[in-house]
Amino acid sequence: MDSFEFTKIAGAVLSALLLIFGVKTAIDMNVGHTPEKPGFVLPAAAPAETAKPAEAAAATAPAAGGGEEVVALLAKANPENGKAIFTKCQACHVSEKGKAPTVGPNLWDVVNRPKASYPGFSYSDAMKKKGGDWSFAELAHFLHGPKTFVPGTKMVFSGLPSSSDEADVIAYLATLADTPVPLPK
């Protein structure tokens, strides 16, 4: 192969590379600008105690009020109604003592249980890092806005339509134990 032929081949290879690079850049320029979900949650949105950002509230359409409102409703919550509402949770949760977890962890005896502790269930890192026990207040905040209370949780659930429904379902969870946990007064 003489040097002229080599130059032609090298030139062809180079222009092919340029073309590939050019097309890739063009694609990146277009694709790179499609809106993506932010990879982090702004600190202001992280604690459930603070107000929800309007955007998150619109996206998940949770019940009005906050987790505190749910806690306040617990004293007169209706576990029977909660049992009926719990059928929505059963898409992902079993709640019979000793039964193997399904999509979500088994919820038998969940009130006052340490978070992310059901044996044999693979929790998200976010839930494992949250720490502490499932007090009534923490359950209220979590059910009211799972992704607000535990950013990064794998519980894909947007919340119940009303705070009293949330209180009722928590009152039902409290009955799921050998010794049911008394509701806060």
Regarding 124 and contact with ligand HEC (CB under 6 A), the answer is yes
Minimal distance in Å, beta carbon 158 to ligand HEC? 9
**Alpha helix (H) residue ranges in the chain:** 3-31, 54-60, 67-74, 79-89, 125-130, 136-144, 146-149, 163-175
Q: Which is nearer to ligand HEC, 24 or 99 (CB)?
A: 99
183 and 136 Cβ atoms separated by less than 8 Å: yes
Paired tokens of 105: 């962890």
Report if residue 123 touches ligand HEC, rule: CB under 6 A.
yes
Minimum CB distance to ligand HEC, residue 119 (Å): 10
Site for ligand HEC (CB under 6 A): how many residues? 27
Encoded tokens for 98: 């000793």
Q: Which helix (DSSP H) or strand (DSSP E) does residue 26 occupy?
A: helix 3-31
143 is an interface residue for ligand HEC by CB under 6 A: yes
* Contact call for residue 154 and ligand HEC (CB under 6 A): yes
Which residues would be at the binding site for ligand HEC (CB under 6 A)? Answer: 88-89, 91-93, 103-105, 107, 110, 115-116, 118, 123-124, 126-127, 134, 139, 143, 153-157, 160, 169
